[in-house]
Amino acid sequence: MKASKHSLRALLCSVLLSIPLLGQAETVNWANWLTGQISKHPEVLAATEQAAARKEDAEASEQPLYNPELSVGADRTGSENNFEAGLSQTIDWSDQQGALQEKAKLIRLSAQAGLSEAVLTQTSESLFALVEWRATTLFEEIAESQQQRLDTLLDQVEQRQQAGDLGRADAELLFLNLSRQLSEVAQAKAAVNRAETQVQERLPDWRPQDGGIPEYIWPALESQIGDADLLAHPSIAAARAKWQVLKSEAEVARRKATASPTVGLSGGRDGGESVVGLTFSIPLNVRNNYSAEIRAANRRAVEAEARFQALYRKQQYDLAGARASWKRYDKQLRRWKELSQGRVQRSADLLEKQWQVGDLSTSEYLQALGQRAESLKTGIELEKLAQLGLIELLSHSGELITSFQ
């Protein structure tokens, strides 16, 4: 069990080290924290035990097929005590053990691929949840900031209304906007609560104060993996290993159909005389030649090969789609950052000054504030989509659990 935990931790520790990084020491610390959390998840624990059990199955397959048999008998004829002792051994004539040893190697590969697949899935889902949580918290900040700005504006409108500077319609318009904003804040807070529970379900010790994914984690380069490298992807490797295991089982079934002879040697006393015997027996596969079992095993292997090829083909298209999607979102995010360049942050003060001097009516001011908030939300949404797209790309390519050399 210790060896299994060690191999799992080594696998997990490579998860984020596969990405080109800006701060290696900081990244290692955060990666260690993340991998520790993922290793505690029940799905990963279950996958770890399943892999360990399959490795025990592999060890069992490597054991000799037949144990020797010892037989002892005794009887009495008249005044003579007769006894006999024998030893027999079935011979693996068709070398079934050789086929089973090859199967054992493939079972170990399949077990490791299955564990890697579980780790990759849990890592991807955890990173997705952290990205979603960060976006919802930023949306909440914008909603609360907008509400505070409207509260302050309401006080100013009431003061200007008393001074005769503004009419009652301005106050009513502001009240309607503020009422709508209260609902938006409530929805934003509910979204944050839902996102928090999603992260905590995947990362048991995570708390909101731990924050999301650090900025230095995100790579500076895009994924470069090609279709040929997809054979190392955990899902593809698992499907391929399953096919190979079933293929080896078909070979085992073929060899098992060959009769294995049994040779025995016995000795004892009978009627006061020493006796020695040699026996030889072999099953006669005349009523059942086990051809149906061979055909069934071959068909299962062919089915597994077809499923492997189908999954490999699908993964190629998924990878191409994920890469195109991430590039599209990343391009739009970069464009948004170029356009904003701090303008969105400075625009609030500028709009307020224009409203104060009368260049903007209250309705125009409220509309501009709403557009400013939507622009901020657009930037957050684009950043979220770009980050989710990158995680999906690295998940489809398998690079989340490939060590970066």
pLDDT at 254 over 60: yes
Choice between 159 and 136, residue whose per-residue pLDDT is larger? 136
The pTM (predicted TM-score) of the whole model is 0.82
Give the residue with greater pLDDT, 38 vs 404. Answer: 38
CA nearest to 131, candidates 395, 394, 380, 397: 380
Is pLDDT above 60 for 185?
Answer: yes
Pairing mode, strands 80-90 and 69-77: antiparallel
Side-chain-side CA neighbours of 289 within 13 Å: the count stands at 3
| Predicted confidence band of residue 92 (pLDDT cuts 50, 70, 90) | confident
Mean pLDDT within 218-232: 69
* Residue predicted with more confidence, 29 or 84: 84
DSSP string spanning 265-290? EEEEEETTEEEEEEEEE---TTS---
pLDDT tens digit sequence for 4-24: 455 454 444 444 444 443 345
Instruction: Report the percent of the chain where pLDDT is more than 70.
Output: 86
More confident residue, 266 or 9: 266
What integer pLDDT is reported at residue 403 of this predicted model? Answer: 33
Does the pLDDT of residue 166 top 80, yes or no?
Answer: no
Which residues, at least 6 apart from 172, have a Cβ–Cβ distance to it below 8 Å? Answer: none
Ranking 146-150, 159-163, 318-322 by mean pLDDT, the lowest is: 159-163
What pLDDT is stored for residue 222 in this prediction? 59
Q: What is the pLDDT of residue 220?
A: 44
Secondary structure (DSSP) of 313-369: HHHHHHHHHHHHHHHHHHHHHHHHHHHHTTHHHHHHHHHHHHHHTTSS-HHHHHHHH
Mean per-residue pLDDT, 194-211? 92
Q: What is the mean pLDDT of the chain?
A: 83
Say if residue 3's pLDDT is above 80.
no
Distance from C-alpha of 301 to C-alpha of 43, rounded to nearest angstrom: 28
Q: Among the listed ranges 116-120, 148-152, 234-238, which one has the minimum average pLDDT value?
A: 148-152
Asked if 249 contacts 293 with a C-beta cutoff of 8 angstroms, the reply is no
pLDDT beyond 50 at 38: yes
pLDDT in tens, 277-325: 898 989 888 888 889 999 999 999 999 999 999 999 999 999 999 989 9
Place of tokens 């650090």: 214
Collapsing DSSP to helix, strand or coil, 300 comes out as helix
pLDDT tens-digit readout, 358-397:
777 778 878 888 888 888 899 999 999 999 999 999 888 8
The H-assigned helical ranges of 14-89 are 24-39, 42-61
Q: Quick check: 2 pLDDT over 50?
A: no
- Mean pLDDT of the region 334-343: 81
- pLDDT score of 228 more than 90: no
